[in-house]
């Protein structure tokens, strides 16, 4: 559907008395809408997530992309040691950490 819309917008000949700029105005409007409603918010979320991952400290509760809940036990350059149970620790890549889990009640 989007390809058909772009084809119509790009192939349409401007009417007599209509400037070529006016024929590209709908295409420019679509690009602006995509930027403000899809691209910009996604970039903002990625920036916030990167900042969160860099600010992790020992003892922080986290959730991974795989749904593992745990507590940060150690931090290295590219990975984090997460304690998921008493004396059960796993090594997780920093990019796999999704969010802060401080609002989740601990069952321990």
Question: What pLDDT score does 16 carry?
Answer: 60
| Mean pLDDT taken over the chain | 81
* pLDDT (average), residues 33-45: 90
Question: What pLDDT score does 79 carry?
Answer: 93
- At the top level of CATH, the class of 57-100 is mainly beta
Strands (DSSP E) contained in the chain are 61-64, 69-75, 79-85, 88-93, 97-100
What are the angstrom distances between the C-alpha of 10 and each of 3, 5, 27?
A: 10, 9, 8
Q: What residue ranges do the domains of the chain occupy? A: 2-7+19-52, 57-100
Radius of gyration of the chain (CA): 24
Percentage of residues of the chain with pLDDT beyond 70: 75
pLDDT at 25 over 80: yes
Kindly indicate the confidence band of residue 8, based on its pLDDT and cuts at 50, 70 and 90.
low
């Amino acid at each position: 559907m989007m390809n058909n819309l772009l084809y119509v917008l790009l192939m349409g000949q401007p009417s007599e008395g209509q400037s070529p700029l006016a024929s590209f105005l709908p295409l420019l409007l679509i690009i602006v809408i995509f930027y403000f409603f899809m691209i910009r918010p996604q970039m903002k979320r990625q920036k916030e997530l990167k900042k969160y991952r860099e600010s992790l400290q020992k003892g922080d509760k986290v959730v991974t992309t795989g749904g593992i809940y745990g507590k940060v036990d150690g931090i290295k350059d590219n990975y984090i040691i997460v304690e998921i149970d008493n004396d059960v620790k796993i090594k997780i890549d920093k990019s796999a950490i999704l969010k802060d889990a401080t609002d989740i009640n601990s069952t321990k």
